[in-house]
Amino acid sequence: MRISELSTRSGVSTASIKFYAREGLLPAGERTGYNQTDYSEAHLRRLRLIRSLIDVGGLPVAAAARVLASIDAPDHPLEQVLSTAQSALPQPVSPPSPASVRRAEEFVAGRGWRAGPQNPGLRILAGVLDAWAAVGREDLASVLPEYARAADVIAEADLDAVSTAVEGARTGGDRAAAAQTVVVGTVLGDQLLVGLRRIAQENASARRYRPTEGNPS
Amino acid sequence: MRISELSTRSGVSTASIKFYAREGLLPAGERTGYNQTDYSEAHLRRLRLIRSLIDVGGLPVAAAARVLASIDAPDHPLEQVLSTAQSALPQPVSPPSPASVRRAEEFVAGRGWRAGPQNPGLRILAGVLDAWAAVGREDLASVLPEYARAADVIAEADLDAVSTAVEGARTGGDRAAAAQTVVVGTVLGDQLLVGLRRIAQENASARRYRPTEGNPS
């Protein structure tokens, strides 16, 4: 198809398509004549993946490029695509305090969690501990055990999806599709959780403060 | 204290302090003489709250201003600060498809969740459904029930923290501190979860793929 059709079907402007091709996120189309380039269904699928990572996942273009490169690398173990996707996600700007990093590590160890010092979650957790301390609300750490319990539930669901994808690729499935599952799941999983948390909060709030439907406050 | 001391103690540059004051996020200091302004401990606490919302919570300045205004409004019911904080958080850029919004509403209704059509989580959830569909991975919806179960655990922990704060304010406590709990909890809770998810994923992955410590792969 021509770039105009690719643009219509993907909802991505031709200027953006050319930009993604120039930046290496989208493979170049096939030149079929003077000033004419042909794009395939694979280009359309790739473009939709790019938009998912950037629009819904909120990744900067450079981070999306790193994630896509990890999908493309043929010798990249699928299990490692997960940590590559994790590292490509936006990280806290300012480094957390050493005291909070230590507290985060102690919390992780206390739960019996196995996680290396490079895990980006440690820095994020330490940053939140710093923020609580900065506003004098260390008492908010009371939510930590329940949040951690929820994180375990989510991680198991994530790993189930990854395992299914890895198993599918081993038994002759599409490796790119498997890697895509991991990446899309990792990037969009954060957003999914943010969305469900909002809904569950309103639900929990409605049940506590307006226990019966016919009794508006 | 002078602005230079406020800057040192908060770690915020004097230029940023002046910017926040100009934008209405930070109350002006007290003029004590020609070219001299005095700042209090309250200014320092406020500045730390501002940085938490922007640096750790990732809020744009305008969104942080809206959240702070909801803390400051004396007649704003504390229970509503939660939804104000929710709405101030970044929203998806492109509106989701009507079909995905319908599916999101069906999922919420199917779980027996009570949430109004204005809940920002519905749009976020619909956006994720759109993104899955765009890359042809509707099968990833298999994670939804477990994610929703985790969201319920989190929402209960959130509401417990809110209830404690609301109760404290009713029994003569500090209303601003209570509102702060709600806002800081809402904004930083997303980040907290993102961090814990990364750690729990590595832990779950280590247990599945490297079941014994002495057996590195």
Instruction: Tell me the per-residue pLDDT of A168-202, one tens digit each, with 9 for 90 and over.
Output: 766 766 666 666 777 777 778 888 888 898 899 88
Contact A154 B146 (CB under 8 A): yes
Residue A215 clears pLDDT 50, i.e. is over it: no
Comparing C-alpha atoms, which of A122, A121, A141 is closest to residue A131?
Answer: A141
Q: Which of B124, B174, B192 to mutate to test the interface with A (most CBs of A within 10 A)?
A: B192
Q: Which of B100, B201, B212, B217 to mutate to test the interface with A (most CBs of A within 10 A)?
A: B201
ipTM of the complex: 0.76
- 3-class DSSP assignment, residue A90: coil
Contact A116 B202 (CB under 8 A): yes
Contact B195 A157 (CB under 8 A): no
Question: Higher model confidence: residue B184 or residue A21?
Answer: A21
- Do A38 and A1 meet the contact criterion of CB atoms below 8 Å apart? yes
Summarize the confidence of residues B152-174 as an average pLDDT: 78
Bridge partners (DSSP) of residue A37 are A31
Q: What pLDDT is recorded for position A100?
A: 92
Matching CATH number, A1-56, of 1.10.1660.10, 1.25.40.10, 3.40.640.10, 2.60.40.10: 1.10.1660.10
B30-33/A36-38 β-pairing = unpaired
Burial class (CB in 10 A: 0-12, 13-18, 19+), B47: buried
How do residues B26-69 score in pLDDT, each as one tens digit? 998 998 888 889 999 889 988 888 887 787 777 788 888 887 88
Tell me which of A205-209, B133-137, B179-183, B199-203 is least confident: B179-183
Closest by Cβ to B128, choosing from A108, A113, A188: A188
How do residues B58-96 score in pLDDT, each as one tens digit? 778 888 888 788 777 766 666 666 666 667 666 656 688
A30-33/B30-33 β-pairing = unpaired
Comparing C-alpha atoms, which of A4, A53, A122 is closest to residue B196?
Answer: A122
Distance, in Å, from the CA atom of B142 to the CA atom of A105, rounded to the nearest integer, reads 32
Confidence of residue A82 (pLDDT cuts 50, 70, 90): low
For chains A and B, CB pairs below 8 A equal: 303
Q: Which residues contact A42 (CB under 8 A, 6 or more apart)?
A: A27
Q: Give the minimum alpha-carbon distance from A36 to chain B in angstroms, rounded to a whole number.
A: 26
Residues of each domain in chain A carrying CATH 1.10.1660.10: 1-56
A36-38/B36-38 β-pairing = unpaired
| Residues of chain B found within 8 Å of residue A57, distances taken between Cβ atoms | 131
